[in-house]
Amino acid sequence: MKNIPPLPALRAFEAVARLGSVVQAADELHVTHGAVSQQLRTLEEYLAVALFTRHGKRLSITEDGRIYALRLRMALQDISSATTDVLSLPRADELIIAILPSFGANWLVRRLPRFLAAHPDLKLHLRASLELVNFQVDRVDAAIRMGPGGWEGTSQIQLFADDLIAVAAPHFNGGQLPRSPAEILAAPLIRSVESWSNWIAAAGLPETQLSGPVYSDSNLVIEALRQGQGVTLTRRSLVHDALRQGELVQLSAITAPYQNPYWLVWPMRSHGTAKLRAFADWLTAEVGDYLADVRGIPTKLP
């Protein structure tokens, strides 16, 4: 690129213009004040413009110098930001995945030992948040999301579509579990953000006003279930393993489709990397096993 003065001269000029002192600029840059003065003269000779007026040992910045310093400071800030962004990108041996807390805690984490055993050289970082990751600024390789798909500027694989089921702990109500849809709705409910409307319609019941505490985090709902506090409608993926282990019981064969599938989503900078291919291949295989397991297990009703 043309018309770029020596970087040391630019740094010295920006520091003097900002601090108003050669001595303070020298202290900040860890050089002598004589070196700073020399860099200022070098820059003025390069530009053929007076950046300062000199009054003995004192300097006053000129109008041309003030404007140049302002634009230079903005350019240096851009360079600093760009450098920070590059330094913060995930490394080849580092895999950073953004996940939903509920999916991570109840589905992903218990399956991860198989991935870690197959890829011991990868340093895995999981970032759990309900916020939608911004690939332009967030330091992640990929994300597991729920939604309609089609996010601009990303590549994605649909993992699976979920469904909603009614569940409770086997010891809820002293083991006397509700059996019919009407009994389920009449039981103490632990409600989440999931709507019961489609499940109620699938049960052939009229829409009804529901009661009970509402928890915004599915992890809180599942913990309350384990304690036997009530009945809930939740995504099958979050309780499948608990159903397998007998910690929870599906109360009815009636299900309702969940509107948003799970996706693995990644930015263009991650596309084709070995670590992402390894994770995507492993995850899709795990999803295949999970779906086969779901289809192969008959619902055990009370």
Q: Do 231 and 189 meet the contact criterion of CB atoms below 8 Å apart?
A: yes
Element of type H or E holding 46:
helix 33-47
Listed in order, the ranges of the chain carrying CATH 1.10.10.10 are: 7-88
Q: Which of 191, 248, 194 is nearest to 221 (CA)?
A: 191
Q: Which CATH architecture has domain 163-257?
A: 3-Layer(aba) Sandwich (3.40)
User: What would the pLDDT profile of 101-137 be if each residue is shown by its tens digit?
Assistant: 999 999 999 999 999 999 999 999 999 998 888 888 7
> Using CA of residue 206, residue 208, residue 212, residue 215, what is the dihedral sign?
positive
* pTM of the predicted structure, to 2 decimals: 0.70
**Residues 269-278 as b or e (16 or more Cβ within 10 Å = b):** ebeebebbee
Distance CA 112, CA 110 (A): 6
Buried b (16+ CB within 10 A) or exposed e, 46-66: ebeeebbeeeeeebebeeebe
Count of other CB atoms within 10 angstroms of residue 251 = 25
Q: Which CATH architecture has domain 94-161+261-296?
A: 3-Layer(aba) Sandwich (3.40)
pLDDT band at 295 (very low <50, low <70, confident <90, very high): confident
Q: Please tell me the predicted confidence (pLDDT) of residue 90.
A: 62
Query: pLDDT tens-digit profile of 191-240?
Result: 988 899 999 999 999 988 899 999 989 999 999 999 999 999 999 999 99
Q: Who has greater pLDDT, 252 or 82?
A: 252
The CATH classification number of 7-88 equals 1.10.10.10
What residue type is assigned to position 185 of the chain?
L
What is the distance between the alpha carbons of residues 192 and 186, in angstroms, rounded to a whole number? 17
Q: What percent of the chain has pLDDT over 70?
A: 95
3-state secondary structure of 219: helix
Model pLDDT, residue 139 = 83
Average pLDDT value for the chain: 90
Residues forming CATH 3.40.190.10 domain(s) in the chain: 94-161+261-296, 163-257
Span 49-60, average pLDDT:
85
